[in-house]
Amino acid sequence: MDPVFQVGRGDVVLVPFPYVTDFKKAKTRPALVIQNDTGNRFGSTVIVALISSSMPEKRYPMHYPIPCPSVAAKAAGLQRPSVVKMETLITLPRRAILKRLGALPREAMREADTALAFSLDLPLATQFGKG
């Protein structure tokens, strides 16, 4: 039987993330757990945002960059500069989590939330300087 990991909001996990262009294929990559902890505790699924080491040339407000080396990268278990792409979200079965790499520190998660709010056009985005 596959292990089912308990995760918390802000955890960085390793998951088989489907290709955006072909859902039949997947690549194992890190992802940020963005689902609330009630859902994480009682649900059979988890909502995550893609983390990529392919850094875009331009900074976008729906991205949360994680430089490396940095406190955030070390805490998250990331060994390369990365970007959390809040426009690339997916719900996966919790049993799909292969490993917990680490977690973003509280302040880093607050900054990531701003990118998530911008991506979803939530009021928090205007609160923290959307425009």
pLDDT in tens, 20-72: 666 677 789 999 999 999 999 999 999 999 999 998 889 999 999 999 999 99
Give the CA radius of gyration of the chain. 14
pLDDT in tens, 113-124: 999 999 998 876
Model confidence, pTM: 0.87
**CB contact set of 34 (below 8 Å; sequence gap of 6+):** 9, 47, 48, 49, 86, 89, 112, 116
**Total Cβ atoms within 10 A of residue 46:** 25
CATH of domain 11-125: 2.30.30.110
Residue 92 · residue 32 · CB < 8 Å: no
